[in-house]
Amino acid sequence: SQQGEEDPQALSIQEGENATMNCSYKTSINNLQWYRQNSGRGLVHLILIRSNEREKHSGRLRVTLDTSKKSSSLLITASRAADTASYFCAAGDNNDMRFGAGTRLTVKP
């Protein structure tokens, strides 16, 4: 079973708009991570938020974590065509880290 599940499965926006992706998980975690995957490439780590953190920023990325709702969101502000990719969350506990099926983001120029 998947620990992390992203929503929506696909998202299409115009360049300059913000993109929000959500992740839900099932059990308690130590941290939650977001990764990006460009077509035909490996995953690239974007940001890690620990279970005792509520919000974290990295450039145009903002991640929130709500452990009471077992959910996280990734916000990409002022999106660019180069942000077109699949985005995955990965929920990690002491002994396991599981990825969701991803959100496919398309940013139209």
Partner 1 sequence: DAGITQSPRHKVTETGTPVTLRCHQTENHRYMYWYRQDPGHGLRLIHYSYGVKDTDKGEVSDGYSVSRSKTEDFLLTLESATSSQTSVYFCAISEPASGYTDTQYFGPGTRLTVL
What does the binding site for partner 1 look like in residue numbers (CB under 8 A)? 2, 4, 30-31, 33, 35, 40-45, 48, 88, 90, 92-102
- Return the amino acid letter for 37: Q
- Say if residues 88 and 78 touch (Cβ distance below 8 Å): no
Residue 64: CB minimum distance to partner 1, A: 19
Q: Which is nearer to partner 1, 40 or 109 (CB)?
A: 40
Residue 45: CB minimum distance to partner 1, A: 5
Residue 33: CB minimum distance to partner 1, A: 7
Compute the C-alpha angle 74/78/80, nearest 5°: 95
State both tokens at 22.
């959500």
